Amino acid sequence: MSLTSVLLIVVLVLVAAYAVSLYNGLVRLKHGVSKAWANIDVLLKQRHEELPKLVETCKQYMQHERTTLERVIVARNAVASAREQQDIGALGKAEGGLRAGLGQLFALAENYPELKANESFQHLQQRISGLENGIADRRELYNEAVNLNNVRIEQFPDVLVARLGAFKAAELLRFSEAEKADVDLKTLFS
pLDDT > 80? residue 17: yes
Write out pLDDT tens, residues 142-179: 999 999 999 999 999 999 889 988 999 999 887 665 44
Four-way CATH pick for 29-189: 1.10.10.10, 1.20.1440.20, 3.60.21.10, 3.40.50.2300: 1.20.1440.20
The pTM of the whole model exceeds 0.95:
no
Q: How far apart are CA 136 and CA 73, in angstroms?
A: 20
Q: How far apart are CA 154 and CA 163, in angstroms?
A: 9
Kindly state the average pLDDT of the residues 4-24: 92
Write out pLDDT tens, residues 58-110: 877 777 677 888 888 899 999 999 988 888 888 888 888 888 888 888 888 88
- What type of residue sits at position 27? V
Q: Are 106 and 125 in contact (CB under 8 A)?
A: yes
What's the CA angle centered on 11, arms 26 and 157, to 5 degrees?
A: 30
Q: How far apart are CA 121 and CA 54, in angstroms?
A: 6
Q: Are 53 and 121 in contact (CB under 8 A)?
A: no
Q: Are 89 and 171 in contact (CB under 8 A)?
A: yes
